[in-house]
Amino acid sequence: MRFDELKLEDDVLDGLDAMNFQETTPVQELTIPVILEGKDIIACAQTGTGKTAAYVLPVINELSKGTHPANFVNAVIMAPTRELAQQIDQQIEGFSYFLPVSAVAVYGGTDGVAWEQQKRGMQMGADIVIATPGRLLSHIKMGTVDLSHASFFILDEADRMLDMGFYDDIMMIQKLLPPTCQTIMFSATMPPKIRTLAKTILKEPEEIKIAISKPPESIMQTAYVCYEPQKIKILEKLFKDSRPQRVIIFSSSKMKVKELNATLKRLKFNVAAMHSDLEQSQREEVMKEFKNGRIDILVATDVVARGIDINDIKLVVNYDIPHDPEDYVHRIGRTARGTNGVGLAITFVSIEEQAAFKRIENFLEKEVYKIPIDPSLGPAPLYEPEKHTVRGRGRRIPPKGQGRGRNPRRRPS
C-alpha cells in the first residue's frame, strides 16, 4: 500500500515524500488506520519492520490538526534506552518537518545542562515527549512535567522495558494520564507478562501480529549438544583455537552473565558484561569499548539483544537457550550485519534445554547442524528432545522407566 492511500494530512505526506517514503511496510499498513480511528492497539513486530513510523505518523497527523491543547504535552512515547529514544526523536524530526509539531527526548546519562534543556522543552509545551521511564519519573517528581492533557501514550519495545524492571515505573506514569488517553503498545515478543500489562492499561485493544521473519541464510547456525558443565570447556577451547574478536555471548539471566564474565576474565580473555544492573553511563562505556575493538567478547542478557546496533559481529554464542524462538532470532540477528553479510551462530544445548531447542528448530523449519564435541572434553549426550519434554521452567519429565519418586543426581549448573 502507498502512504497516499492512507488518511494522512497533506503536510504529513509532504514530509514522507521529502524522505522518499512511498510504500508502507506490513506493520504500517495494518496499524496506521487503526490508530487513526482512535483505538488502543497492541502490536507484535520486530525491530526493522518500520514500527516507529507505524505509530509516529498517525500521532503527528492528529497533532497537526491543531485540535489539541497548546503548551501542553500531548503525547508520551516510552522507550527502554537512551539510544532508542534518540532514534525515535530523529525520526519525528524528519516526519514532522512541514508540521507545527515539536518533540523533546528525555533520558538519563547526561549532565545538568541536558537536564535543564529537557525541563525547558517540556515546560514550553513540547507536543511529544520521548522518554526512558526512570528519567521521566525524575522530572515528574521534580514537578517539571504535566501529563494531564496527554492524548497518546505509546510503549515501544514493551517487552524489553519489562525485562529491564520498568513495570512499576510504567504503571506510575500511566496513572498520571487522563482516562481518555489512547494507548499504543509495541512489543517484539508476546510473553505472558506483556499480555498481563496489556490487559491492565489497554481498553478493548486491536491486536496486530506481524509474523517474525526467519534468520537470513547468510548466518551459519550450529549447535553443540552437551552437558551443562561442558559449556565453559567448549567455549574455552573455541577461543584458544581461534582468538575471539567481536563476539557476543548471550545468557538468559544476569546472574549467569556476571558469573560467565568473571570466569572468562580468569581465563585471561578480554571480556565485559552487559546487563540491566549497570547504570546507563556504564552500559554506554562498555558499548563504546566493544565498538572500538578494545573489548573482544561481550557477555549479555536478552535485554540488549535488540539494542546492539554494531556491524561486523563475527560470532554470536547462545550460552543457554532463550525462552522463545523469537528471542533466538533476535540474538543471532546481531551477526551477518556487516559489509560481508555473513556470520556464525553457535548454541549450547544441555539435556534440560533439548526440548526448547527443538521448538526453535521447528520454528526455523530446519534442523541445525550439531558439531561433534572434541573427545578430550568427555562424552556428550545424545540429542533426544522427545525424551526431555519440559513442563514449566526448569522441570524435566523423566524418560519412561525413571520413577518420579527418586531424587536423581543433579548435575551442577
Structural domains of the chain, count: 2
SS3 at position 385: helix
Domain boundary among 209, 240, 257: 209
Co-location of 236 and 262 in the same domain: yes
CA neighbor of 36 nearest in space, from 12, 58, 63: 58
Q: How far apart are CA 43 and CA 411, in angstroms?
A: 41
Domain boundary among 160, 189, 209: 209
Mean pLDDT over each residue of the chain, to the nearest integer = 86
As a whole-number percent, the residues of the chain with pLDDT over 90 amount to 52
Q: Which residue range is the domain that position 74 belongs to? A: 3-209
Q: Beta partners for 316? A: 248, 345
246 within a domain of the structure (yes/no): yes
Co-location of 262 and 198 in the same domain: no
Sign of CA pseudo-dihedral 167, 173, 178, 182:
negative
pLDDT, one tens digit per residue, over 388-405 is 664 433 344 444 333 333
Which of 40-49, 154-163, 372-381 is predicted with the least confidence, judged by mean pLDDT? 40-49
CATH code assigned at 130: 3.40.50.300
SS3 at position 394: coil
Binning pLDDT at 50, 70 and 90, where does residue 376 land? Answer: very high
What is the arrangement of strands in the sheet containing 219-225, beginning at the earlier edge strand?
271-274, 297-300, 247-250, 315-318, 343-349, 219-225, 369-370
Asked if 360 and 215 touch (Cβ cutoff 8 Å), the reply is: no
Q: How far apart are CA 169 and CA 108, in angstroms?
A: 14
Asked if 95 and 12 touch (Cβ cutoff 8 Å), the reply is: yes
240, containing H or E segment = helix 230-241
CA neighbor of 92 nearest in space, from 122, 64, 113: 64
> In which residue are the cell numbers 566493544 written?
290
Residue 312: CB partners within 8 Å, gap ≥ 6? 246, 337, 338, 339, 340
Co-location of 285 and 372 in the same domain: yes
Q: How far apart are CA 161 and CA 16, in angstroms?
A: 29
Q: How far apart are CA 26 and CA 211, in angstroms?
A: 10
* Cell numbers describing residue 138: 525524575
- The span from the first CA to the last CA of the chain, in angstroms, equals 51
Co-location of 236 and 359 in the same domain: yes
Q: How far apart are CA 290 and CA 274, in angstroms?
A: 11
Mean pLDDT of 284-294: 87
pLDDT, one tens digit per residue, over 47-83 is 667 889 999 999 999 999 988 988 889 999 999 888 8
399 within a domain of the structure (yes/no): no
